[in-house]
Amino acid sequence: SQNNVLAIIGPNASGNAIPAARICEDAGVIMVSPWSTNPKTTEGKKFVFRACFIDDFQGQVMAKFARENLQAPTAAVLYDVASEYNKGIAEFFKQFFEAAGGKVVAFESYTKDDKDFSSQLTIIKAANPGVLFLPNYYNEVPLQVQQARRLGITCPIIGSDSWGSAELLPLGGAALEGCYFSTHYAPDIATPTAQKFIKDYEAKYGKKPDDVAALTYDAGSLLCAAITQAGAPDRKKVRDALASVKEFQGVTGQMKFQGTGDPIKSAVILQIKDGKFNYFAAVQP
């Protein structure tokens, strides 16, 4: 407010985005979060938007995938109870999995910075689930998967968009082979818009962009398009332009807004195969 800021890109993590969103809304400052998927970030707000899908859609996508593609009659979930993101998506997955006729036989939690998951995984192993869902961050998942496999848990392991960093692969190694996770785009089936972004990003940074980089670029591009449409750097006019975007072709796919800060867009499911992220399926809203 002091500097008369028009808009803010970020924050990314829902734990930071939710309180920041309240401040921006009260101040009438536009906020576009690239990666915060928790519904609370935009809920009841006029000035807060996001470039990603939300957790209930992602929870539904992975519950449907577990039931239909993996034919899992039962599921177990291990999640960080202290994180808005992890807890929210875990609960949505449970809700949609059971609504689809499945049964969640273990719903275990831990707290941030835990390194030993043996007690929770022992309970999960005893429940003998058909699939294990880990909606946790890429720096935690490798230890969880490795410990699960060492304990003899052999069912498929699936995750969410928080797996989407390339750092996941060297941290998890062979234990991650065959795992699946939902995310925002797949570089190996990229559209022309995405191909150009990937090429430019690699030229500048020497590595492929992850989904956070792609979503951040989309958040900035959305804001620029809204400013152009508004015709002036006026908060209300730009906010109204954002809310009325009917078609936007971003790096992470086509999206549109229908009166709320949540875009309508698709998700993709990737499989870890031969030590790489590989496109497996697309899921429409």
146: CB partners within 8 A, 6+ apart? 172, 173, 175
Instruction: Enter the tokens of residue 221.
Output: 């591009």
Residue carrying structure tokens 């065959």? 178
- Decide: helix, strand or coil at residue 136: coil
Residue carrying structure tokens 């069912």? 155
pLDDT average per 10 residues of sequence, the chain (285 residues): 89 93 96 93 96 90 94 98 91 96 98 93 98 96 98 97 91 96 86 91 93 94 95 95 92 90 92 94 80
Which architecture characterizes domain 56-183 according to CATH?
A: 3-Layer(aba) Sandwich (3.40)
Instruction: For the chain, give every domain's residue range.
Output: 7-53+212-266, 56-183
Instruction: Read off the DSSP letter of residue 112.
Output: T
Cis peptide before 11 (omega within 30 of 0): yes
Which architecture characterizes domain 7-53+212-266 according to CATH?
A: 3-Layer(aba) Sandwich (3.40)
Residue 131 pLDDT: 98
Residue 185 pLDDT: 86
In b/e form, how buried is each residue of 184-212, taking b as 16+ CB within 10 angstroms? bbbbeebeebbeebbeebeeeeeeebbbb
Distance, in Å, from the CA atom of 83 to the CA atom of 262, rounded to the nearest integer, reads: 21
Confirm whether 7-53+212-266 and 56-183 share one CATH topology.
yes
Residue 229 pLDDT: 94
